[in-house]
Chains A and B, each alone.
Chain A
């Protein structure tokens, strides 16, 4: 069991750094997720890896639809911010619901993002 654990840990940084090719990278992260899932105490890590893979997929889609290569490798919060700054509120809300972002954090992100775009009207309404 010890051996398996250490292997999982060595696997994890490799997975999160990953290769520039996205397909294999997501696969590696999903593999890590499954490995983490095998032991009970790594429940948290397994879930995080799962979310990470999901996030990368979503970011790829966003990059294709917006034709801007600015999403991959930013955090969930950053992704939401970028969406709002670009005026793509639908995508922002999609990310929010997908990752169950709490209302508290959502408000901070939205305020900051609207402030960067100097969209004072929207900030007022909000």
Chain B
């Protein structure tokens, strides 16, 4: 199965988006005649693999390499670099060029920046006197369709950059990406934003629309509503362990660009140390069916599939069958590899999730969210630190604890910080500093509003039936993600009715409507004031963008929401990156060089 997902069922034409990027890349390569060596920034290779197959690149005379510090080994007279506009990526390029010139090698060099060139990068090339040897261009790849309803901007540091470094350059990138979407799908009339960065993106988007209006008369815009949400508004959700199938896969095996890489032994292949890559996207029918389910249920579904298969098999062997029945059976057999694959994965997850340590942790997460038993939670975390359990796992729980209490009393705050430094080393002073700056782990200054929030947004749902869920809370077995609750509210009735609750969350919020050119004949006669509703029976489309990352569990909850009866909305999720608590916190942790 291909890693490139099939996008035909997407609510908007994402295939055209992908084809557009593909063409653009091929044009770049075509314009450089002859054999060339394409050197790719390792962080881009994932996104590229979702856009273009390597075989297609090879057809255009391309030799592929990953960008690394050691000298480039290639026979090609032309070298094309495809890199993000990051300063540290310039160093290997410079050393390649200098290495070649010192050996007297004559080559042509091209650098294509993704998505655009930056002054800083060019300055450094200039200072190292290699600028004049290079041809510089841009490959404006602003987003990658990860699946039929998920777009990613592939910016993995946004959360930390915005919360700690105060670097907001990525906001422009996001606004630009939305603006580009509007050129294909029409101006989005309703924009709702919560959080200071989201509001800023909405502002930048407005400016872009004024400077460079979308000039096309496509009639109705394809996307009716845009909801922008800062990750900062809800940091609680990513700190919790995701309990959907896809979410758990990400927690334990790290899904990257729609695929997991894992030991062959998990998949039942006996080969020491061999890694295999398993694609995970909705082109896999079975995966599409079970990815959003709570993991408890997944095991049952798989068992059911396997037994019904067995039943069919006995039927075939015992009774005489018509040709068409045989045909049906063979068709079913075709899905066998998929079932085996997911049974293997589920088995691996089961062994991890049935461990007492995992269950204990879930219990503790639940206690913290309920904000019961402060002392028990405190002692649990203290013990984790004393046992020197993996730092990021400890921090996840600690942050959850700090967030729901709006910080810890100074005595406890200082005590835990000291124990952390003693157990994990003093270099983590800057980790703690990062977390404090981001407001994730801090000193308590006022009373916590968590209980009010929990009640107002109905975050904890008792008696969640994971098999027949009636509420999004099933994704965390009883906790409804705050972020998704806000989106639910925004779609159903707007944020006005919960104004008071919104004020308890960080950052301002804004709602704008761009009417005027949108009025079709039906809304003129009906005079309907609600532009949100599309009257011709078509489902209207909501684009939800998370600034700072989104978890798979939240995406599952959104899919669940749009599948509800009475919801005339399809939802597309845009994110700066798909994250889990681990990948998100990893950006905050100080790395020892």
Binding site for B on A (CB under 8 A): 9, 12-13, 16-17, 44-45, 48-49, 51-52, 55, 73-78, 99, 101-102, 104-105, 108-109, 112
Contact = CB atoms under 8 A, between A and B. Distances in A.
B423 interface: yes
Given A44-B414, A45-B429, A13 B424 contact: no
Contacts of A77: 388, 422-424
Contacts of A13: 429-430, 590
By CB atoms of chain B within 10 A, which of A12, A74, A77, A102 has the most?
Answer: A77
Contacts of B425: 73-75, 78
B355 interface: no
Interface of B: 382-383, 385-388, 414, 417-419, 421-427, 429-430, 433, 590, 592-593
23 contacts: A16-B426, A16-B427, A17-B427, A44-B414, A44-B418, A49-B426, A51-B426, A52-B426, A55-B426, A74-B425, A75-B421, A75-B423, A75-B425, A75-B426, A76-B421, A77-B388, A99-B422, A104-B383, A104-B386, A105-B385, A105-B419, A108-B388, A112-B388
Contacts of A55: 426
Contact of A76 (B422, B427, B429): B422
A17 B590 CA distance: 10
A12 B590 CA distance: 12
A105 B386 contact: yes
Contacts of B426: 16, 48-49, 51-52, 55, 75
A75 B429 CA distance: 12
A109 B419 CA distance: 13
Contacts of A52: 426, 429
Contacts of B430: 12-13, 16
Contact of B433 (A9, A73, A75, A108): A9
A100 B418 CA distance: 11
A73 B593 CA distance: 12
B593 A75 contact: no
B593 A17 contact: yes
A16 B386 contact: no
A44 B418 CA distance: 9
A75 B387 contact: no
A74 B592 CA distance: 11
A96 to B, nearest CB: 11
The 3 nearest A-B residue pairs measured at CB: A75-B425, A52-B426, A76-B422
Given A16-B429, A45-B429, A73 B592 contact: yes
- Name the prevailing secondary structure of the A interface residues: helix
Given A16-B430, A49-B426, A105-B422, 17 more contacts: A12-B430, A12-B433, A13-B590, A44-B418, A48-B417, A51-B426, A52-B429, A76-B422, A77-B422, A77-B423, A99-B422, A101-B422, A104-B382, A105-B385, A105-B386, A105-B419, A112-B388
Given A12-B433, A108-B387, A75 B592 contact: no
A51 to B, nearest CB: 7
A7 to B, nearest CB: 14
A76 B433 contact: no
By CB atoms of chain B within 10 A, which of A12, A13, A75 has the most?
Answer: A75
Contacts of B386: 104-105, 108-109
Nearest to B423: A77
Nearest to A41: B443
Contact of B422 (A17, A44, A75): A75
A76 B421 CA distance: 8
By CB atoms of chain A within 10 A, which of B414, B423, B424 has the most?
Answer: B423
Contacts of B383: 104, 108
B166 to A, nearest CB: 11
Given A12-B433, A73-B592, A108-B387, A48 B421 contact: yes
B424 to A, nearest CB: 5
A51 B414 CA distance: 14
B429 A48 contact: yes
B187 to A, nearest CB: 42
Contacts of A45: 429
B554 to A, nearest CB: 33
A76 B165 CA distance: 29
B441 to A, nearest CB: 13
A12 B421 CA distance: 14
By CB atoms of chain A within 10 A, which of B418, B430, B433, B592 has the most?
Answer: B418
A44 B417 contact: yes
B429 to A, nearest CB: 6
A110 to B, nearest CB: 11
A13 B426 CA distance: 10
Given A9-B433, A44-B417, A108-B386, A76 B423 contact: yes
By CB atoms of chain A within 10 A, which of B387, B418, B422 has the most?
Answer: B422
A79 to B, nearest CB: 10
A57 B403 CA distance: 37
A77 B253 CA distance: 29
B355 to A, nearest CB: 19
Contacts of B427: 16-17, 73
A85 to B, nearest CB: 14
A34 to B, nearest CB: 16
A55 B424 CA distance: 13
B204 to A, nearest CB: 27
Contact of A48 (B388, B418, B424): B418
A12 B419 contact: no
Contacts of B421: 48, 51, 75-76
A70 to B, nearest CB: 14
B260 to A, nearest CB: 32
Nearest to B382: A104
B245 to A, nearest CB: 35
Contact of B424 (A75, A101, A102): A75
A109 B425 CA distance: 15
By CB atoms of chain B within 10 A, which of A12, A48, A49, A78 has the most?
Answer: A48
Contacts of A9: 433
B437 to A, nearest CB: 9
